[in-house]
């Protein structure tokens, strides 16, 4: 029972990581493919925030074993 719960938790954390990566890539793609010649700084800052948040979650998993 405990092992299946651990596997389920690992799968859900992988799913969250994939969602974060997808969000980051979408934000970067939208800022790159915008019709304006200048970068859309709102989307770019959102992407950098998501990258920071993603690495913060990764560090929490590795450091604390959650």
Residue 17's nearest CA partner among 6, 27, 25 is: 25
The CA-based diameter of the chain, rounded to the nearest angstrom, is: 56
Cα–Cα separations (whole angstroms), residue 27 to 22, 32, 52 = 9, 9, 14
pLDDT in tens, the chain (66 residues): 466 666 566 567 777 777 777 777 777 776 655 545 455 667 777 777 888 888 777 777 777 665
Cα 14 from Cα 8, distance rounded (Å) = 10
Q: Is residue 59 within 8 Å of 32, Cβ to Cβ?
A: no
pTM > 0.75: no
């Amino acid at each position: 029972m405990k092992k299946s719960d651990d596997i389920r938790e690992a799968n859900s954390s992988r799913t969250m990581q994939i969602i974060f990566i997808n969000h980051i890539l979408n934000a970067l793609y939208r800022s790159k493919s915008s019709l304006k010649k200048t970068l859309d700084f709102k989307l770019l800052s959102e992407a950098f925030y998501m990258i920071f948040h993603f690495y913060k979650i990764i560090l929490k998993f590795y450091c604390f074993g959650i």
